[in-house]
Structure 1
């Protein structure tokens, strides 16, 4: 039996015993030494801040704040195994290289020390550097009132008169830009091409300042990855500025080609196949919400929707890959920025603007290849606005109605439709549009009334609504009947699916009429089948009802909160 790892290294044990510890460590294979350094804490994914520590204050963990990508945790340099630097010169160089190449460094221009911590890096350290984020906070001294009241500057933390405030802003801006230009020249001299991943966040200033910041980076060699965020008011020019700079810095920019690729000269069948592999298609449902609607509605894929189960509200979340963990988010969907590592889906609007023929082709691919999810409004039904289902068909899908293939409608939690009301008429109008302008024989329509099921999973035993459960169950059933009665006027639907919340087995209720969740689920599925047969007729074959619901749509099913078909609610 092997009793010592020394037998794997060499058979001369007496010689090994006589060697000092540094020589023994160097005799180990590099991969083993690298693992030893890792287990010693040389690099473990921590964010290393290069600014000096400010006066002692109570520290908070970022987990106590919302998950917005900003971390307030302080890095403790005492956790680094600095003793490794004192073993010998060879190990010191090896450790230094791994330290700078395997960790992510962060620095902020307005924190103690400013940018000096990075300027003090040795050429060898910069040559090994692989991941860096820089926050450039430009002074935003401004007058908060039309009166002569003093202005408060959040960076200088004091109140000044208007004249002093403007003077301080000019001085701070000039000083920051000068330091930034000096830092860019310092980095350009020593960093390794195509190795450094660099993220820049510029807060404050104006468009001219942003152009100066971006222009100073022209001296840098080609980067391995890059992200730039300019957190000013929303502006397409700023976003284009950030995008062009990032692509140029990563060697991806292409000037006007002498002989551009003539895509429109390809056969139309090939053009359509090429478009299928663009961002016109996505494996997730494309979510549409009336609260964000405009002339060009903002749409997202359902994989980027974050649900708050307790409030039944939702918001858009970033992919989390646009910048390193612990640093500020650099996402083109939320800020005036662009990152080569961001994987967030963005509506490919440019593909609809090339020509009339390509616009028609893009519309065909977009509406025929994707599944669409109609999200409920976070507001109560407004009398000056039609229901979201009607707005979806009359505005968002108006030009592509004949190509539409898959729709899921999450009904709002705020109200139930009542027969004979304006809402009832709008629903019938939406059904008529599907029948008259769409292709019912190719359209699969899912009605999702399961918002109460999501609320149950969030609250558990404490779940109780403002309305008695028996009444909620009756209201939901009547809503389902009202919806399918309107759809039953047309018999050529490809598929109609209904998802209900009730009945439900509550193990915490001693008076619950259902003995087990399987019994309640079986009855619920039977109720859903009855509603579906009102439209599709008896003996329909259920095909694909839960396929997309469980495959990749996080709005109903995910690892942290699996739905009822994944595991029992108990």
Structure 2
């Protein structure tokens, strides 16, 4: 037999290490009849002789290093990145083995904007037959199975709790990631009533007792339950008093904001993660100034705004709008993508009665402004000079009301300002010119305000119009005429550092509008690689 090349030697070495010949079969082969065949198991083959001392039979799965075991279990389908629903895993129907699941990130899917594009998990059923190989194999891979996978369970009735307990009791001490969906099966709000409500409360108390005794490794936990009564929320949170210490915790109780209940949820999450109570102060002011500014940039800039779609939200974009109004389906929000370590659902605070210790959504910088005078100056300079502030409404009077409470000293530090005109629905036969004239007059007042309160030579202004949507062409033509008048009037802001325009319905007029403000400075410059609220495919058209 010819000598094998190094690649073939490496392959057969790995093959024989992962598939060692059984010693009993070797003995049986020797007793029956020795063979001179090269593929015989009774003695070394020519291939094994050529491979020399590198071939060492007898290496089993249990003797492999841990990272190799994890890789094998991933290929086998026993470890997966997707959430494993204990309640429905037994009825999964997907015979095709697909080691990679083509699911989008939470930032793209866990929000009313784009929830419809999320695909279901395409992994096949868990190969639980591997646990029946032997007691040693079960004990070895059981800790990896429960410690590395992410589990969820629906506790809608007593049978669900019994199923969860019986399925995980043998490895519950290794359970690390868990999401619980609690509540009546008919999706009603949980109350302090009898019947199914009392049963759900008993199930929850029993689960909390089980977690306190049998889940010492539980580190990442999230809970969903429909609650709108403060007393019910108190009772749910009190049952978690003896929970194990967590690293990350998230709780969701209502799809609408209830500030009283959210305060209870927030306190419970901080208590479960050992972040409640007196802690030694952090010596922030003793750090070098450069390090202080880097920390402030992480706190005040690199935060996704939940009011902007994920595909349109670059870092450092902050929308100025009324954030206190309720957000029904017609005003959806976007998930930050970090609020749930289990990728179970969205726990962002801005859209519902929920709290997560890992939510990274944009929040008001007011608490940082109130620390001290020196801290206020540094935080204000970072917040206003590094962020791009955007108005998402076309009404200049509403914009003026939002600007009314910001001091002029803060306006002077703003470097990027964006006006986004939302997609409009116009009737083709619109003849009310008085409305447009009033709007142009209000815009002139707003431009004068910008000249008087902003640092014009350092200000970059962007105007984005998403166009019209109708079944005729009359509305688009009327809209374009109005926008031409409006953009020509921006010539009184000459001296801007930069001026960019995007017109969805009239891309050819963009250069003329920019030239009216910047003059010859806009000649020869390239198109921007990215603009807020505009996808890359639309920008290049």
Q: TM-score, normalised by structure 2?
A: 0.71
Aligned-residue offset at 1:389: 4.2
Cα 1:298–1:389, aligned 2, differ >3 Å: closer, same or farther? farther
Tell me if the contact between 2:82 and 2:121 (Cα under 8 Å) persists in the aligned partners.
no
Aligned-residue offset at 1:500: 2.9
- List gaps (5 residues or longer) in structure 1: 57-61, 140-152, 157-164, 300-307, 456-463, 505-523
Aligned-residue offset at 1:371: 0.5
- Deviation by residue 1:53-96 (Cα, 9 ceiling, x = unmatched): 9999xxxxx99x975499997999x8222221222221122232
Distance in 2 separating the partners of 1:214 and 1:541: 63
Aligned-residue offset at 1:52: 7.2
Distance in 2 separating the partners of 1:55 and 1:34: 25
Structure 2 residue corresponding to 1:7, chosen from 7, 13, 16: 13
Structure 1 residue corresponding to 2:445, chosen from 429, 445, 451: 429
Say whether residues 1:536 and 2:518 are aligned partners: yes
Say whether residues 1:18 and 2:26 are aligned partners: yes
Aligned to 2:499, what secondary structure does the other structure show?
strand
Aligned-residue offset at 1:225: 2.1
Structure 1 residue corresponding to 2:354, chosen from 332, 337, 341: 337
Cα 1:120–1:264, aligned 2, differ >3 Å: closer, same or farther? same
Aligned-residue offset at 1:169: 2.1
Structure 2 residue corresponding to 1:442, chosen from 458, 476, 486: 458
Aligned-residue offset at 1:329: 2.2
- Deviation by residue 1:377-430 (Cα, 9 ceiling, x = unmatched): 6xxx7xxxx554444444678773333221111224436996871101010001
Q: How many residues align?
A: 471
Tell me if the contact between 1:131 and 1:197 (Cα under 8 Å) persists in the aligned partners.
yes
Aligned to 1:92, what secondary structure does the other structure show?
helix
Structure 1 residue corresponding to 2:72, chosen from 13, 23, 36: 36
- Deviation by residue 1:314-333 (Cα, 9 ceiling, x = unmatched): 74211233236673322212
Tell me if the contact between 1:138 and 1:202 (Cα under 8 Å) persists in the aligned partners.
no
Say whether residues 1:288 and 2:319 are aligned partners: yes
- Deviation by residue 1:478-507 (Cα, 9 ceiling, x = unmatched): 445423433223433222222233557xxx
Tell me if the contact between 2:386 and 2:415 (Cα under 8 Å) persists in the aligned partners.
yes
Distance in 1 separating the partners of 2:66 and 2:286: 55
Distance in 1 separating the partners of 2:317 and 2:493: 26
- Which range moved further: 26-35 or 422-431? 26-35
Aligned-residue offset at 1:29: 4.8
Cα 1:128–1:69, aligned 2, differ >3 Å: closer, same or farther? farther
Say whether residues 1:184 and 2:208 are aligned partners: yes
Structure 2 residue corresponding to 1:400, chosen from 410, 413, 426: 410
Say whether residues 1:255 and 2:281 are aligned partners: no
Instruction: Write the mapping of 1:485-524 to structure 2, written as runs, cut at 5 A.
Output: 485-501=488-504, 524=508
Tell me if the contact between 1:288 and 1:373 (Cα under 8 Å) persists in the aligned partners.
yes
Give the superposed CA RMSD. Answer: 4.7
Instruction: Write the mapping of 1:22-171 to structure 2, written as runs, cut at 5 A.
Output: 24-26=60-62, 28-51=64-87, 68=115, 79-111=125-157, 113-120=159-166, 124-137=170-183, 169-171=193-195
Aligned-residue offset at 1:50: 3.1
Aligned to 2:300, what secondary structure does the other structure show?
coil
Cα 1:486–1:75, aligned 2, differ >3 Å: closer, same or farther? closer
Cα 1:272–1:327, aligned 2, differ >3 Å: closer, same or farther? closer
Cα 1:430–1:285, aligned 2, differ >3 Å: closer, same or farther? farther
Aligned to 2:489, what secondary structure does the other structure show?
helix
Aligned to 1:403, what secondary structure does the other structure show?
coil
Distance in 2 separating the partners of 1:22 and 1:465: 74
Distance in 2 separating the partners of 1:483 and 1:19: 92
Tell me if the contact between 2:267 and 2:276 (Cα under 8 Å) persists in the aligned partners.
no
Structure 2 residue corresponding to 1:466, chosen from 465, 472, 487: 472
Distance in 1 separating the partners of 2:66 and 2:301: 47
Aligned to 1:489, what secondary structure does the other structure show?
helix
Cα 1:395–1:13, aligned 2, differ >3 Å: closer, same or farther? same
Aligned residue for 2:96? none
Tell me if the contact between 1:330 and 1:338 (Cα under 8 Å) persists in the aligned partners.
yes
- Which range moved further: 268-277 or 114-123? 268-277
Tell me if the contact between 2:389 and 2:417 (Cα under 8 Å) persists in the aligned partners.
yes
Tell me if the contact between 2:90 and 2:125 (Cα under 8 Å) persists in the aligned partners.
no
Cα 1:341–1:138, aligned 2, differ >3 Å: closer, same or farther? same
